Structure 1
Amino acid sequence: MRFFIELIYNGKNFHGWQIQKKVKTVEGTIEYCLSKLLKKPINIIGAGRTDAGVHAKQMFAHFDYENQIHSDFLYKLNIFLPNSIRVNNIFQVKNYVHARFDAISRTYKYFFTYKKNPFYHDVCLHYFYSLDHKKMNKASKILMDYKDFSFFCKKNSSNKNNICHIYQSYWSFKKNIFYFTIEANRFLRSMVRFIIGSLLDVGRKKIDIDEFIKIMQFKKINYDYSKSIVPPYGLFLTKILYPEDIFYEEKIEE
């Protein structure tokens, strides 16, 4: 039988989602705990791969197990997991459903604050430059006109193609807090952080809208985008959508 887990995590102390040798990852931590509790090796496959330091307010992963999982298992699992990870529910899905390939869309948000706040330090970027909000939102809408995001992909990426379909892209500004929202069918490695860096350059008037369009068209070859990537700790994976008919039974929740 195939099961989905829905979880949240603070990525500060993890080297990203994907399991790696000799470093702590979210995937590796969950696999270890599941394997110990279920008394057999468990491999999980996530809906995506967040970078080191990136957080998730909603993430899904699937694993296979031959027996039913009862409601008290979720309670035991969360006791065993570190405080930086919580599994919100577990539910059975059809055997062919895949956490990564069957996802319809993913949404990320990146949070900023104009006012320095020690309690936001690990989850929100303190940004002290003045910004042109209208130009930033105008540039963000332009993203939806393009499909090839090779320019915003980390070099030496193993992607077979760099085509992504962006469904929404916008900035929200509320007093001292502002954030960027982007939804797409898929994202490339570090793509969101590169895009945000360039949009901030538009807001700071380091580049104008026409230059941003040239960047999107790979014509602005002298633009040093490597300096425009934002750090990971303000980035959250916030929502993943799936078809409504993927599961058999009610979710197991605490």
Structure 2
Amino acid sequence: MSKKRYFIQIAYDGSLYHGWQTQPNAVTVQELLDKALSTVFRQTIETLGCGRTDSGVHAKDFYAHFDVDDLNEDKVLNAVAGINALLPYQIAAKRIIPVHDDAHARFDATARAYKYYIHFEKDPFKLNRSWLLKDKLDIEAMNNAAAILLTYTDFSCFSKSNTQTFTNNCKITKAVFEELDGGLVFTIAADRFLRNMVRAIMGTLVRIGKHEIHLANFKAIIESKNRSNAGQSVPACGLYLVKIVYPYIEND
């Protein structure tokens, strides 16, 4: 029986889950989504996501592709309500999109963007959704350092080791801090990201903001291509995947 490929766009609060990817002895977003899709379409469905968010990381814009036996396309596209009825409240299906048979949620993405949130005073409504940091930060220095990221392409120093990637080169197109009421948000966009890259960059930029290291040190860290020279990874709770771009999908 012929199969048809679709993308599903979802959003999720990652606080309760051990990341996106299915793994033994842990509840993940992919596991729950696959179960819901399999139930609705009455066949075994296995998704492939646009990336792998770590435990506790959130996504406002996440895509996965899946193949389904040749059902009526309208039935598939109108299945969002049924899928949402089976998913926990922390995971929301937004839309299903028909794509060509070779479409790939991970490899076809041409741009991605993340945001990282920091707040400076205890706030119960930001628990697990933003990083509480009580240190004072030099935002201007952090933005000066962030701008340097746009002049480099090899970010080995911010990547987990042994990640099975062919290259650690990325093209960062935006990296900037903006002040919010009682906090900060860091926005970073690139053609691709390495595993743990954004959290490692944030950990290093926070050291800049604390005046523990300076711009010359920041350049030296990048040029060293050594993860042990960069800052510690910041907590997952403040990180959100906010945008994925495909050449054949119209953004919301």
For Structure 1 versus Structure 2, the TM-score category normalised by the shorter chain is: over 0.9
Q: Distance in 2 between matches of 1:153 and 1:176?
A: 30
1:73 aligns with 2:76: no
* Correspondence for 1:180 among 175, 186, 191: 186
1:35 aligns with 2:38: yes
Please list the CA deviations of residues 73-113 of structure 1 after superposition, one character each: whole Å capped at 9, or x if unmatched: 21111010111100011111122221111111010000011
Deviation at 1:11, TM superposition (A): 0.5
Q: Distance in 2 between matches of 1:22 and 1:170?
A: 38
1:102 aligns with 2:108: yes
Q: How is 1:21-32 mapped onto 2 (pairs within 5 angstroms)? A: 21-32=24-35
TM-score by length of 1: 0.91
Deviation at 1:157, TM superposition (A): 2.1
- SS of the counterpart of 1:12? helix
Deviation at 1:213, TM superposition (A): 0.6
* Correspondence for 1:228 among 222, 226, 232: 232
Deviation at 1:32, TM superposition (A): 1.2
- SS of the counterpart of 2:165? coil
TM-score by length of 2: 0.92
Preserved CA contact (<8 Å) 1:14 1:24: yes
Task: Tell me what 2:10 maps to.
Answer: 7
- SS of the counterpart of 1:6? strand
**Equivalent position amino acid for 1:109 in 2:** K
Structure 1 pair 32/137, CA: closer, same or farther in 2 (3 Å)? same
* Correspondence for 2:177 among 164, 167, 171: 171
Task: Tell me what 1:155 maps to.
Answer: 161
1:134 aligns with 2:164: no
1:88 aligns with 2:94: yes
Deviation at 1:170, TM superposition (A): 0.6
Structure 1 pair 92/155, CA: closer, same or farther in 2 (3 Å)? same
Task: Tell me what 1:241 maps to.
Answer: 245
Please list the CA deviations of residues 149-201 of structure 1 after superposition, one character each: whole Å capped at 9, or x if unmatched: 11111123222221111111110112312111100111111110000000000
Structure 2: runs of 5+ lacking an equivalent: none
Structure 1 pair 221/193, CA: closer, same or farther in 2 (3 Å)? closer
* Correspondence for 1:216 among 208, 217, 222: 222
Equivalences, count: 245
**Equivalent position amino acid for 2:214 in 1:** D
Deviation at 1:221, TM superposition (A): 8.6
**Equivalent position amino acid for 1:236 in 2:** Y
Structure 1 pair 135/44, CA: closer, same or farther in 2 (3 Å)? same
Q: Distance in 2 between matches of 1:33 and 1:12?
A: 20
Please list the CA deviations of residues 38-69 of structure 1 after superposition, one character each: whole Å capped at 9, or x if unmatched: 11111111111111110001101111112124
Preserved CA contact (<8 Å) 1:94 1:246: no
Q: Which moved more, 1:70-79 or 1:122-131?
A: 70-79
Preserved CA contact (<8 Å) 1:113 1:125: yes
**Equivalent position amino acid for 2:175 in 1:** S
**Equivalent position amino acid for 1:42 in 2:** I
Of structures 1 and 2, the one with the larger relative CO (CA 8 A, separation 6+) is: 1
Preserved CA contact (<8 Å) 2:155 2:225: no
Identity of aligned residues (%): 38
Off by >6 Å, runs of 4+ in structure 1: 219-222
Deviation at 1:246, TM superposition (A): 4.6
Q: Distance in 2 between matches of 1:232 and 1:209?
A: 25
**Equivalent position amino acid for 1:228 in 2:** Q
Q: Distance in 2 between matches of 1:62 and 1:125?
A: 31
- SS of the counterpart of 1:213? helix
